[in-house]
Structure 1
Amino acid sequence: MAGGGNFMHRVISYVVNEFVVSGLANSPTFQRFAVRSSKRMEDLSNIAAKKKQELAEQMKDLSKNFESFKNQ
C-alpha cells in the first residue's frame, strides 16, 4: 500500500497538468505573451550574433595591427 500515494500523486499531477496546459493553450493573452517572447528572444539572438561577428572582426584587426607593430 506504500506505492498507492505515489500513484495518486501521479494521477493528480497529470490531471492538474492537463488543465493548466489546456487553459494556457486556449488563452489569447498567453498566446500573445508567447509570441512576443519568442519574437524578442529571436531579436536578441540576432543582435548577439551580430555583436559576436563584430567582436571577431575587431579582434582580427587588432591581431593584425599587433603583428605589424611587432615586426617593425
Structure 2
Amino acid sequence: MTTPRPTRSNAGASAQATYHARLQATRTRRWAVRAALALITGAVVWWLLGWQAAIATAAVVAVADLVHH
C-alpha cells in the first residue's frame, strides 16, 4: 500500500505576497531615515567641529540606528 503524496497548496499566497511587499517598503523607509539621520548629524557636526568629526559622527549615528532597529 502506498501513501498519497501531499499536494502543494497556494492557500495564503496573496497574504504572503502582501507581507513581503510591506516588509520591503518598511526596509526601504528605514534605510532612508537612517541615511537622513546620518547626513543631518554629519552636516551639523561638520559646521561645528570639522569634516573628520562629521564623518565619524555620521558613521556612529548610522551604526547606532542599525543596532537599535
Range into which the TM-score falls when normalised by the shorter chain: 0.5 to 0.7
Deviation of residue 56 (structure 1)?
0.3
Structure 1 residues not aligned, in runs of 5+: 1-15
Larger radius of gyration: 1
Greater percentage in helix? 1
Match of 1:42 in 2: 21
> Identity of paired residues, percent?
6
State the 4+ residue runs in structure 1 displaced beyond 4 angstroms: none
TM-score scaled by length of structure 1: 0.55
Provide the aligned length of Structure 1 versus Structure 2.
48
Structure 2 residues not aligned, in runs of 5+: 51-69
Compare relative contact order (CA 8 Å, sep 6+) and give the higher one, 1 or 2. Answer: 2
TM-score scaled by length of structure 2: 0.57
